[in-house]
Structure 1
């Protein structure tokens, strides 16, 4: 648990920095909005492009592994949206944020160091195979769900607006550019690689500071029941489903299955708040869910490490 705390505490440090910067009026709401826009429009697309363009090729068939992980994502995302609409009476746009928070894992800040520490070099290949598609898929689905939820009008008009959104959306553009660069064997080098790397490196810290400012604005104790529901779906149901699929349903090697379970056991990722801030819906719930799930993950992830026989 001490190793997990060493990984989780820096996350809270950056969130706390943003929170107290807002409390002390060093940074205001406009700064938080500007930071979230910067991360969503520039830093995260740079991170997606770099991940896809420079990722390693798979040496093994990862389909069962991916199905096990994203099967769990599909279930908790659907359950989260259903509860948001039916129980918590939220509209479909905010329900998409609830579902996204249930399925989106904090990979860069918590997942990568923890999984590599747990499995060492044996876990590197499955970890980075999942990383290569996790963020692009999750962000793209979230954006499309929200855009389609707000669409109204004749079918052809709706289809045209959605198509226009897809071809101009920064996440979709980054996804397409990364896949194209990888397929063509064009890897950024020199000054171009340095620019992409530096932009990608700013995504997590800027997003966490922005979320700290949001917590100051919206509060961490508000919307408690939806926040605790999202936290339970993310920390308990998601890894449980992946564990069942990877170890008892699909032919996934044990180390690969363990990596998938730990990946699913991570707390809600910061991208849930970034999407919420971008579309101005669900900011209160998403920011609080990220903070609460990160705090409780110290206990739940330790439990999953025990289940997997690592501790």
Structure 2
């Protein structure tokens, strides 16, 4: 178990550093936002480009992974909708936000750093790129379209869908994904200085992302939201990885690295922009509290998950 903690503890110490920096006022919200912008617009796209250009394209494109992880995430998304709408009687916009919190992982800011520690930077970056496709082209658009439709009483779905597509086209990670795919398909190598810049930016992605998460958590509170927050957190940290595991087991045997990576990413807490999205639909407090509780609880669940994968001989600790 000490070997497991050696993997997860540095991750959460970096998160703690961000929290401490905010708590001691070494940085303020504007400065933290600047770091977050650097990660989102420079480091993560560079990470995706490096992953796509440093690996053969047939190793990057994993339809088995996309199908299993995508269907597992979609299953949890659908379950959350049915639970909140049919059994709990919540409005559509709120149900969509619950579904988003339970099925969309923080692949860039937490999933990748953890997977890089366990599997190595190169395979972790490839899997992060695949997860970004699923989250940005399937889960997040579905949640936003449903939430906006609920907010507008079912009107304007086509308009909402069009605006969502426009936002996705401008997503810097997807722009990096497209650029990396073009370079990989055409077998084009970046010039030396530019390749070095991409390498340096990619190396900064993990630590900077974890620092941002820690700073974001400072000041968040849980007030009278135990049931909703608990439901979202349990769905994300337990139900999501279980659903992904079941889908992998139902499909033909695949590389164990893909299964381990999928479970690690599915075990990450919800996306970091979850409170920002939830705020638009009256769930600012619940989504922020869920992010805080989910991130803190992930230290335990990720450590436990890595330990269980080690016992199952999926992940021998060296």
TM-score (norm. length: structure 2): 0.76
1:9-52 CA distance string (max 9 Å, x none):
11111111111111112122222333323322332222223323
Please state if 1:114 is matched with 2:148.
no
Q: CA deviation at 1:8?
A: 0.8
Residue in structure 1 matched with residue 209 of structure 2 by the alignment: 207
Give me the whole-angstrom Cα distance separating, in 2, the residues matched to 1:66 and 1:156.
26
Counterpart of 2:272 in 1: which secondary structure? helix
Residue in structure 2 matched with residue 185 of structure 1 by the alignment: 187
1:224-246 CA distance string (max 9 Å, x none):
44444344334433343344333
Query: For the structure 1 residues 166 and 245, does the alpha-carbon distance in structure 2 shift closer, same or farther, using more than 3 Å as the test?
Result: closer
Root mean square deviation of aligned Cα: 3.6
Residue in structure 2 matched with residue 11 of structure 1 by the alignment: 11
Q: 1:165 aligns with which of 164, 167, 173?
A: 167
**Any conservation in 1 of the 2:51–2:125 contact (CA below 8 Å)?**
no
Query: For the structure 1 residues 188 and 219, does the alpha-carbon distance in structure 2 shift closer, same or farther, using more than 3 Å as the test?
Result: farther
Query: For the structure 1 residues 309 and 94, does the alpha-carbon distance in structure 2 shift closer, same or farther, using more than 3 Å as the test?
Result: closer
Counterpart of 1:44 in 2: which secondary structure? helix
Residue in structure 1 matched with residue 131 of structure 2 by the alignment: 134
Query: For the structure 1 residues 305 and 71, does the alpha-carbon distance in structure 2 shift closer, same or farther, using more than 3 Å as the test?
Result: farther
Structure 2 unmatched runs, 5+: none
Q: CA deviation at 1:284?
A: 3.3
Q: CA deviation at 1:212?
A: 1.4
Residue in structure 2 matched with residue 40 of structure 1 by the alignment: 40
Which structure carries more relative contact order (alpha carbon 8 Å, separation 6+)? Answer: 1
TM-score (norm. length: structure 1): 0.77
Give me the whole-angstrom Cα distance separating, in 1, the residues matched to 2:158 and 2:236.
37
Give me the whole-angstrom Cα distance separating, in 1, the residues matched to 2:314 and 2:202.
34
Residue in structure 2 matched with residue 121 of structure 1 by the alignment: none
Query: For the structure 1 residues 60 and 74, does the alpha-carbon distance in structure 2 shift closer, same or farther, using more than 3 Å as the test?
Result: same
Residue in structure 2 matched with residue 95 of structure 1 by the alignment: 98
Higher alpha-carbon deviation: 190-199 or 151-160: 151-160
Counterpart of 2:12 in 1: which secondary structure? helix
Residue in structure 1 matched with residue 198 of structure 2 by the alignment: 196
Query: For the structure 1 residues 31 and 191, does the alpha-carbon distance in structure 2 shift closer, same or farther, using more than 3 Å as the test?
Result: same
Give me the whole-angstrom Cα distance separating, in 2, the residues matched to 1:94 and 1:138.
14
Query: For the structure 1 residues 56 and 259, does the alpha-carbon distance in structure 2 shift closer, same or farther, using more than 3 Å as the test?
Result: same
Higher alpha-carbon deviation: 275-284 or 135-144: 275-284
